[in-house]
Structure 1
């Protein structure tokens, strides 16, 4: 072995050791950030929603207060710098010159918290993803040897964050692979396995419970045609969500006065919350109640209510994001999928007497709409299975997620994340 080969080998080992150490640090920081944001948001959202449920005047007060707080923070603390969500991560990973600045950590953390806690109809998932990605991005600015591994280290933070949010290590690394990195290598797997291990250990240490406590007994082959129908409907609904978000952002972008945006967005949100309190915040509280509905009858009132919720959820999510709220389409997609699945099951059982299992349709619907919204079927599969801590529906979820994704791509080939990257 020549001296040059020895030097090269030693240098490679040193870089590898440094990558392992920095991956541990990024994973720990990202995991604690995610659990802090998750638990703080859950607590405040619960307190504020209870207050608003008991006194509906707060349904009109909270949204405008939340959006104003975010506006003032952006104007005076973060120096008028806009949060663009996951698009910022794509910009950082695609360009050698761009990165995620440190201020993205507190900016997305605080803005995501205030958006959801004060009733903004979105979730903290994108806030968590960008802030943890910023932790990963910070490392490559400290050490020149990490510059070639910027994407891998950004994904380390994201993997840890998603693992914590949804109690699913596999969903964490799959999201990094399917949505962010697009391609992988040995360094990616080494660093991101460290991330999911650290995050999983924290979940065990804190005895973190699955988000939804449900009991799934079985599924039947005769339901497959109806699952396929659910997949097609999920794909159509996801396109409606995507196009509505893009439309609202385009129209609100024409409003130059920030306060007018806030007033308009808060007005739309407040009226919707007053009509359907289920739309408050991330909507997980409404989904938990929905799981307690064993076998609803598809009365005219139920059908009209569910259709109204499905349409308004898309509108208020779009209005929240367009008027300055922080978040993305994760929680809205899960919410839409749950209501869509239960509505379809109720209609099938009431009018066609096919005897499908409603809870199965809710869970599959959640995964299907998410898969179609972000074009990541495997992430959606493991994420939803992690949320209910049950893999009984693994095969039908996989099938429906793929159907939903390709249905949505046939209608509209973009997501809210890659639309601007395509030059649209």
Structure 2
């Protein structure tokens, strides 16, 4: 009896040790991939956008060229398989037979980079999530001992990827829990904590900075009713974004000729860029520009129409990008729409109701609120946006507004782009 107990104890220790080692490996590889993709995208997007800004003809050329390259890569290099985004991860964790194939790592890395650099109005977040999830899935398949930890190791890769993208290890863990795993186990805690610790250490060593530099000083309780209003508007816009993506994908799926999809999607993007160049790529460059002077911005009719036009067209541009074959999701579009929705609401309140609210606060809260409503993950959105700005001053109002936006969005439309399926909608 003692011998059997000793053998079992030794086996458990060996399994624990190997799980720690593989979590370290997943954390490092996922973080490294995320950092390289983030920096490469930011660098080349800035070059391409500057080129297009000086010669508007490139607003037409870049999307067609980018989507065409992605199409040919899928046809001749990536097994003619379309990228389904996060739905691929759901299919894998919910099935014992379906797995994320290893080619998903270069596929999502390259296609995500090409999509955003060529103007696709989405972001690299979902590309990073699927690629890093695949790192975890590949590691899990390498040893029989890890077969029972499929979901945990996939989540470890995702958590590390989110950590380096948004400078928030808590957001990485919460996204893996709220959106992917939806259950907390000891193995989940062990693997994700180790992975995000490695990712955080690598980010520190490489001097990765938060995406947005802001100076948030305070917030006022008198703004609470307006925060609630922002939460409701964020929910409405998130549903608009979700329905746009689903509508465009449904309509484009009826087009049999792939190149017609590319031409139509690129045409929609080109028109959007001519109207509002801020819609090019992820749009973080536009958010940074507005954030710098948000509290000193004076609302004019042209500025109000610009901000309204941007929030109205962004979901359409995002949907066209994805339907035309681009790789990405709704993370970056949600943050983008939330930022411009927040500042527009704040400026309108100050001008017409003399509310004296702080526009910068509304931009930050708006980003979290729309993201929370779009992916139905309020706690991920809270820590993700606080990590993006490296500031927790607005934690309480962000918490309240994110909960309001999520549950209002669920009342208006119960699905996200990740959970929707035609069979469920009937």
Tell me the TM-score range normalised by the shorter chain: over 0.9
TM-score by length of 2: 0.98
Residue 420 (structure 1) shift: 2.2
Q: What is the alpha-carbon distance in structure 1 between the residues aligned to residue 332 and residue 422 of structure 2? A: 23
Residue 292 (structure 1) shift: 2.0
CA contact (8 A) 1:112 1:124 kept: yes
Structure 1 stretch 286-295 or stretch 129-138: which is displaced more?
Answer: 286-295
CA contact (8 A) 1:295 1:346 kept: no
* 1:154-193 mapped onto 2 (5 Å cutoff): 154-193=154-193
- Equivalent residue for 1:370? 371
- Equivalent residue for 1:275? 275
* 1:138-217 mapped onto 2 (5 Å cutoff): 138-217=138-217
CA contact (8 A) 1:37 1:109 kept: yes
CA contact (8 A) 1:92 1:98 kept: yes
Q: What is the alpha-carbon distance in structure 2 between the residues aligned to residue 406 and residue 299 of structure 1? A: 33
* 1:28-39 mapped onto 2 (5 Å cutoff): 28-39=28-39
CA contact (8 A) 1:212 1:388 kept: yes
Count residues with an aligned counterpart: 424
* 1:295-310 mapped onto 2 (5 Å cutoff): 295-310=296-311
Tell me the secondary structure at the aligned position of residue 398 of structure 1.
Answer: helix
Q: What is the alpha-carbon distance in structure 1 between the residues aligned to residue 183 and residue 375 of structure 2? A: 17
Tell me the secondary structure at the aligned position of residue 212 of structure 2.
Answer: coil
Residue 421 (structure 1) shift: 8.6
Q: What is the alpha-carbon distance in structure 1 between the residues aligned to residue 229 and residue 26 of structure 2? A: 42
CA contact (8 A) 1:121 1:283 kept: yes
> What are the Cα deviations for residues 181-212 of structure 1, in whole angstroms up to 9, with x where unaligned?
00011111011110110011011101111111
- Equivalent residue for 1:316? 317
Q: What is the alpha-carbon distance in structure 2 between the residues aligned to residue 105 and residue 372 of structure 1? A: 28
Residue 381 to residue 24, structure 1, CA distance change in 2 (3 Å): same
Q: CA RMSD in A?
A: 1.0
- Equivalent residue for 1:78? 78
* 1:255-270 mapped onto 2 (5 Å cutoff): 255-270=255-270
Residue 11 (structure 1) shift: 1.4
5+ unaligned residues in a row in structure 2: which ranges?
none
- Equivalent residue for 1:60? 60
- Equivalent residue for 1:391? 392
5+ unaligned residues in a row in structure 1: which ranges?
none
Q: What is the alpha-carbon distance in structure 2 between the residues aligned to residue 382 and residue 69 of structure 1? A: 36
Q: What is the alpha-carbon distance in structure 2 between the residues aligned to residue 8 and residue 270 of structure 1? A: 63
Tell me the secondary structure at the aligned position of residue 401 of structure 2.
Answer: helix
TM-score by length of 1: 0.99
Q: What is the alpha-carbon distance in structure 2 between the residues aligned to residue 87 and residue 21 of structure 1? A: 28
* 1:16-31 mapped onto 2 (5 Å cutoff): 16-31=16-31
Residue 108 (structure 1) shift: 0.2
CA contact (8 A) 1:127 1:327 kept: yes
Tell me the secondary structure at the aligned position of residue 297 of structure 2.
Answer: coil
